[in-house]
Amino acid sequence: MDEKGILTPVILAGGSGTRLWPLSRKSYPKQFLRLIDPEWSMLQLTLKRLDNLDIPMTSPIIICNEEHRFIVAEQLRQIGIEKASILLEPVGKNTAPAITLAALQAQALYLEKNPALLVLASDHHIVDIPQFHRSILSALTVVQQGMLVVFGVTPYCAHTGYGYIKLGQMLEDRKAYQLAHFVEKPDLATSKDYLESQSYLWNSGMFLFGANSFLNEVKKYQPEILASCKQSFMQCQADLDFIRINPEAFKDCPEDSIDYAVMEHTTIGAVVRLEAGWNDLGSWESLWESSIKDEQQNVVFGDVLIEQGQNNYVHASSRLVTVLGVDDLIVVETKDAILVANKTESQLMKKIVEDLTRYQRTELSIHREVIRPWGKYDSIDVGERYQVKRITVNPKSKLSLQLHHHRAEHWIVVKGTAKVTRGDEKYFISENESTYIPIGTIHSLENPGSIPLELIEIQSGAYLGEDDIVRLKDDYGRVL
């Protein structure tokens, strides 16, 4: 790294976020939701809080899974980031392989500059941005000495939901400590001992280190991870705005976190304190803690009325929600599910997730409203042999050329103009006009206009699953 240094943000965006169900789901997890800010998602806030950081910075590297790639690309576009490297993991292997892939990408792009990698989770909340920047700059001076830095948060309570970091000796420049060791989430008695000792910090899961220094440590302590990542990275393929990591080479990569794979072993680890109002939003209670409250300490989103209630978190997505005479509750309403929970027991969400998994409930994975690269659809009614969807197609966007073996479709335009391909025909339909797509007919739908196209789709047939789509041509690189 040169004397001034150059920073490459590395954003880990591959989590499923099921602890915040029913808002967060596998197909649209919490990092893509507007949980804190009404305008920006957690991923967008993660990147925007790097604005005005006084250090040269490259375009970010985002690591996500294939299912979320178009969500990531669209949210980056919304905040003016168009040259990011979006790495698509074929399968989640925890943070050590993900960060190794990002380091290899940084080397490939900026080898002569040996960038410092600022590794951030995409779903954390930080209140004091200037202090966050000061911590990064302090950590950078340590990194320039060849060390690997983890940011530790000073605990204010005996929390059993976080991992901890044991502090070693203070370094000579007094900006950091030696890293002694990591501790997995402790029980309550142990966490109380840690709090009283003042020798332990919460593990924020954020890191800063030189790309070369990190890869050297991976080579030393986890050669199998490095070999697998190198092979899969060398065989990657560019696809639109994305970099597809080779699945065959990556499938046998060992699965491990950066904490245990590298930081537990390294002799050049350091800890920098982060006292900037950090919260990982890992539960409904932590989300309540980080949100703006009214005079009764209630957090309210959407169309909500609360009478004689305190310390509640109430989120209404699609209808009026009223709460009367209750305290310390989590009430979350979506179009297809409702959660009512004791706020202090929100860590038990994993039990609900286990039940939803056991019963194979689709509500765990997808919302009623589903995002697609061309727009979105909302399944507003489902019955035997029929389904009704409200479809929105973005301006200048187009659905794949496709056919269905088991269903016919009726389209009724309610806003905008649609360009329809049906067999050998091509024609336009406008507001209050409709068309019919018979079973087995090759078809496509396009919005040639400059405003969103909205239509009602009525499907009818023996089978209405989303896997009854045979794509013949697709503008977004999806499987044909």
Least confident of 7-11, 95-99, 159-163, 315-319: 159-163
Q: Token pair 């009478």 is at which residue? A: 307
- In the predicted structure, residue 247 carries a pLDDT above the cut 60: yes
Which is the CATH superfamily of the domain at 369-473? Jelly Rolls (2.60.120.10)
Q: Which residues contact 358 (CB under 8 A, 6 or more apart)?
A: none
Q: Which residues contact 346 (CB under 8 A, 6 or more apart)?
A: 19, 283, 284, 285, 330
What's the confidence (pLDDT) of residue 17? 82
List, for residues 30-56, the tens digit of each pLDDT value.
999 999 998 999 999 999 999 999 899
The torsion defined by the Cα of 460, 464, 469 and 470, in degrees rounded to 10, comes to: -70
* CATH 3.90.550.10, applies to 7-279: yes
Check if the beta carbon of residue 95 is closer than 8 Å to that of residue 239: no
Give the residue with greater pLDDT, 193 vs 119.
Answer: 119
List, for residues 222-236, the tens digit of each pLDDT value.
999 999 999 999 999
- Where in the chain are the domains? 7-279, 284-357, 369-473
List, for residues 124-159, the tens digit of each pLDDT value.
999 999 999 999 999 999 999 999 999 999 988 888
Separation of alpha carbons 217 and 92, rounded Å: 21
Predicted TM-score (pTM) of this structure: 0.88
